[in-house]
Every structure is written in C-alpha cells, then in structure tokens.
Chain A
C-alpha cells in the first residue's frame, strides 16, 4: 500500500461536481485529488467520429461495468432482491466527466416551490394531501439563495434557452412558471425540430405555454469559464450516450477539469476505485482507501476533506460501507437517515403518433430540440380538486433517433390507435409492451419479416412521441441499503434499491397522460397509440438516470444526512454532492440543480469551511 501525501480535498470520482469543486478550490490555492474509477477521455481525440450505435447505445459503452459492480432491486421490503445484470432503468457513467459526458444536457432550475415542497403543499392544500407514508421535506435551502449559483453555472458553462422570468417580468416565449432569474440565458435556444414546432402549435392552441428546452449545449460559439471559445452544436444526432465530438455539449472535461489541471494543484488518478472513507477515533474522516484497478493494489489518499462526488448510488453506498466504532452504521447514519428518501421519476411516453407520408428527419440533433410545456408540472396548476399532488413536464420533438438503435426500439403498438374514437371505444393496453411488439407501429405484432420491414421503411421517420417527466415522491417503504446477500467483485455488499411507484404516481400519470392525449390529437396524427395507465416500475427499460436521495439535505440531523452545503452532520469533514442530496425529486432533469449545488458547496468550502475546519457550517 502506498500512502500518498495529505491533500486539502479528495473527491470520489471526477465528474461534474468534482470538476466544479476542483476548479473553484484550486483557484483559491487548495490542493485537490480525484480518485476516478474509469479512464480519461476528452473530445479530441476520444470522441472524434464516434458514431457507433452498437458500442454507445446498445452496449452502453460509457457506463459502469455491471459484471464488477451493480445494484440489486426489489419492489418493496416484503420481496427478495435480485442484481441488475443488464442495463435498463438508469445509466450511470464512469470515467473522467462521469455521466456528464453521455448526458442529454437538458438543464433546468427547480421551481421555488420544489425547495419548500412540504411547507408549500401544506400551506396551500392542507397536511391531509400529503400521501400516507410519504416523507417529503423542505430542502433547508431556498431558491433565492441558490439563484446566484444557478446563474454562475449558466454563464460559466454556457446554457442555451429562452428566458421566461427576468426578475419577475414574465417574458412570453420562455417558461412563464420559472423562478426569478437575475440574468437571461447567455445563449439563445437551440433550433427546434419539426415535431417540436407541431407540438408547440397544438399546445398553444389548447391554451398552454410551450417554450424551447433549455440545454447545456451551445447554440452559438461561446467562451466559457476556461477562457476557450467552444464551437456551437452541429446537430449530428449522436449525443445522449455519446461524448460530444465538437465540445458543444458541456461537461466538466470541457471546461472545469482542464482549468483545474492547469493550476498544477489538481490530480486525477484514473482506474482507481474508492472502497472506503477512512475514519479516526474522533469520528472524522482522514481520507480514502482505493484500489488501483490495473494492478489490484490498495492505496490510501489522506485528506482534510473527503467529498463524495460520484453517482447518487455510489455516494450512498460509500456512506454505508465506511464505518468505525464512532459511526457503526456508516458515515452520516448516526440517526439512521442514510438511504432514506430515495426517489426516481415518471419518465414515460403516454402517446405516440404516426403521421403517414411525413418525414421529420428525427435522426438529427439531440433531445434538446424539443419544446416543453410546464403547465402541468410541480404546483404550476391548481390541485384543489385533484386526487394527487405534483406534476410532470410534457415534451415533444427530441431528435437523435439513430437508425440502428431506434429500429429495435420503436414504440409498441396496441392500446388506443385511432385519434378519432372516443375514450370509451378504445382498448387500453393492459400490459407492458412485449418484446414481440417492439418495432410494430400499426398493429403488426412482430419485428421480423416482410411486413415489419415494410412498416419500418414506411413509418420509421413519420412517428412523433410525446413524453413526460413526472415527479417522484419519497416514501417510508422506498429506500437504499446494503444488500444482505449480493456482493461486488471485491466482496463488498451491493447497494439494494427498494422502489415501486405509489398510488399518487398512478393518479398523476393518469391525469397528465390525458393532457398528452389531447395534445397529440390536436397535432392530427393518422394513427395514435396511447398508454393511459401507469405500469409498475421495471428495471429493464430505460427511464432516466435521475435517481435521487439517500443522503438528503435538511435543517436538522434527525431528518437529514447533510446541511444545505452537503456537509455531513455527524462527520463534518465529509461532503456529499449531487442528486443524493435531494429530499425528493422534481419533474425536471436534475443536473442544473446539481451544478448549482456544487457551486454553492464550493463557495461554502472556500469562504467558510477552511477558516474553521471540521465545524458544521450554518
């Protein structure tokens, strides 16, 4: 074992949040080391001409190697768990830049009401409207406090979008529900696809407020925090699950990490996997122990501060694995809060339309070419007469339908097929799409043979889907813990995910799916396929990598693992970053908030923490 010289900060992983913190803290003279389980890769030369659908989309080449470490899942505490052996529900990344390399780059600010979810809903609707067993909380951090850091991320990274609320002035064409912005987006929105425009017209006709998807993808050339001018998006269509070949899609690799490396104070050790956060008899962290995956040797990196900046599930697992006599149940877990408030999302496609004879060129661009309505997300609409709380984004018009990857993945047939028929006349799909239904758009039930090929040839580029991204609330029977049975390649327990949708989710879905159906009808498809009811959660179909919670922030150790800086209450020289901090999940992509929180934590570390080390910041 090598014990390296002590540094100020050691981070687990070298993704978005580690990159931001490394850049912010090395600029102040702090020495930072990141221990990264994967390899290094940068746009040039690693992502040049990397349009390999088999490697990236179908074989998930940029993700964790599940044969070495995976997660187990069970729908509820009464059921046994089983390991996830193939990628499905979510796609955590590995390597420098983390999932921030292969992400879709949809970038949002959460709503002001999201940050005071419990208080807001009780004030507006009464406590009885919080579902039974639901453990929603306020964040202990107000939107207004985080706003400058959202803005810092907007400008240092280069975010494209159309402003909807500038200091309270509601500007048409943007999101009229968004919280106050102190500055407009630094860049205009990306081009919209034809389906996005059709969706926008239909939604506007129904009285809703469509606007362009905000994105961490440059719509114009832009000089970011690194001082380098990056190229604008070329709409190549190989984006999610790929690295960007022209650096138009933001990542820590593009901006923050090179800047931190240039200081000479930052080092990334690749192919090195942290297996433990080391603790002393005072209950404070002393550094991390990691394994060099190329040699199998174990090393120690001492540090003043340990930052768990891996994926949500990685961070929670390390908290639970790292124990001593002071923290016998793991770091941050003195009051049993680690693993609590695990949440996910409702990422579904309630309606698919076929527009026979039309061609949409949907292979171009990425998902950020879409239009969005937020009229039915969060508490942007009155829930007084409804049987649920929460809501969902409704989106349409994303591109990147790669020919190879999408041929096997066309939406299933079945369900409601005619836009003209009334709801009562239509059959509702009563089961999840069967594999034999994939690729069959108009009633065909197989994905081989002449009929299927004809269908694919005729309709592959004539389909439009409307998707939703719905809130997911935390519940007492929905949590993360260490699996008692299954272990990783090193013999350490896997993390167990206990998760299933609840009744509030089913009601929310039913309501939003009906709205989606109305919009699709207004778009005038020749055939329409809708899914009116929420199917049970499954781990085999991709939904989103928006796993949240497990190390949540709050105002007291009895209800949270960390304070608003991500500083662990019971081990104050350990910090957690990322979506593990979210007390519940919003109906929006999390990374915009993850980045803002990383800037916020950086400010806390450099302005307060290092003046009084090991003290809990207020």
Chain B
C-alpha cells in the first residue's frame, strides 16, 4: 500500500483520485462520504450519476483508506468494479484528510478500508448513466 508521501506524489499524476489540497482542480465534489469513528463509511451506500466527484472526509481519529483494488484485499472477491474501471486506492487518510475520486464509468463499485476490511468497513458507490 502507498504511504502518505508516495500517494501525495502520485495524486498529481494519472489517477483520478485526489487528496484534497494537492490538485489543481477547481471543481468541488458533488457528494461526500464521511468516515466516522467506529469504522464506518456514511453513507455506506451512495448512488451517483457518471462524472460525479465523490469526496471521502475522514472525521475519525484513526487512519483509514478508501480502496477498491482486489489485489489489496484479503477477500478479493468482495471488491466490485465495473468492466473497464481501474482499481483505486486513496492511500492513508489521516484524521481530517479528504480524498476525491471521479466516477466516469457506470456500474457498481464495492470498496473497503484496508485496515478494517475484516471489520466490515465496506462501502458501495452505484454509478448510474450520465445525466444529459
């Protein structure tokens, strides 16, 4: 898994996920998932139209990740990605950090926190077709 420094370095690259503050984007995220203490993504299930930017805001005391990468999962089959979607991983999100990801491909994304995968710290983003 990437450490915070590595990820900060990467987020200026090709990934569509950005740690708040390191990107030159001027757009604000359309949706926010709050990470709360107790190992909870809130809401755990969110439906958004394609093209939406979703922010994860860690308001818990502990470090968490937002990860949809079967290669980084203990139970790889529990990660879901639509065909053509690239696995993603926020890297470490410390208390107060915010991370943004843009969902372009419709389908179901099931993600987890790498530190709390077996604690049922799961979330699902359902991306519907783009609103025209």
Contacts and interface: CB of A to CB of B under 8 A. Distances in A.
Interface in A129-176: 161-163, 166-169, 171-173
Contacts of A186: 38, 40, 120
Given A169-B108, A169-B124, A173-B77, A183 B45 contact: yes
Interface residues of B, number: 21
A88 interface: no
A183 B44 contact: yes
Interface in B53-93: 75, 77-78, 80
B18 interface: no
B126 A188 contact: no
A167 B77 contact: no
B80 A182 contact: no
B75 A220 contact: no
A219 to B, nearest CB: 9
Contacts of A168: 108, 124, 126
Contacts of A188: 118-120
A166 B119 contact: no
B44 A171 contact: no
Given A183-B44, A183-B45, A169 B38 contact: no
A187 interface: yes
B47 interface: yes
Contact of A182 (B43, B108, B119): B43
B100 interface: no
A75 interface: no
Interface string B113-128: 0000011111110100
Given A171-B78, A172-B75, A184 B120 contact: yes
A171 B110 contact: yes
A185 interface: yes
Interface residues of A, number: 21
A163 B47 contact: no
B60 to A, nearest CB: 14
B107 to A, nearest CB: 10
B43 A166 contact: no
A163 B122 contact: yes
B65 to A, nearest CB: 16
Given A172-B75, A172-B78, A182-B45, A167 B126 contact: yes
A285 to B, nearest CB: 41
A354 B106 CA distance: 51
B77 A172 contact: yes
A185 B120 contact: yes
B76 to A, nearest CB: 9
Given A171-B78, A173-B78, A166 B122 contact: yes
A171 B68 CA distance: 13
A184 B75 CA distance: 15
A234 to B, nearest CB: 19
A222 to B, nearest CB: 9
Contacts of B47: 167
B118 A166 contact: no
A166 B45 contact: yes
Nearest to A171: B78
Contacts of A181: 44-45
Nearest to B119: A188
A182 B122 CA distance: 11
Given A172-B77, A187-B119, A167 B38 contact: no
A162 B120 contact: yes
Contacts of A187: 119-120
A228 B73 CA distance: 32
Given A169-B80, A169-B126, A173-B75, A163 B120 contact: yes
B32 to A, nearest CB: 16
Nearest to A220: B119
A166 B125 CA distance: 10
A595 B28 CA distance: 41
Contacts of B44: 166-167, 181-184
A34 B43 CA distance: 36
A182 B126 CA distance: 12
The listed residue with most B CB atoms (<10 A of its CB), out of A173, A184, A185, is A184
The listed residue with most B CB atoms (<10 A of its CB), out of A161, A162, A167, A168, is A167
A183 B44 CA distance: 5
A183 B38 CA distance: 13
Interface string A376-415: 0000000000000000000000000000000000000000
Nearest to A168: B126
Q: Which 10 A-B pairs have the closest CB atoms?
A: A167-B45, A172-B77, A169-B124, A183-B44, A184-B122, A166-B124, A184-B120, A169-B108, A171-B78, A185-B120
10 contacts: A166-B110, A169-B80, A169-B124, A171-B80, A173-B75, A173-B77, A183-B40, A186-B38, A186-B40, A187-B119
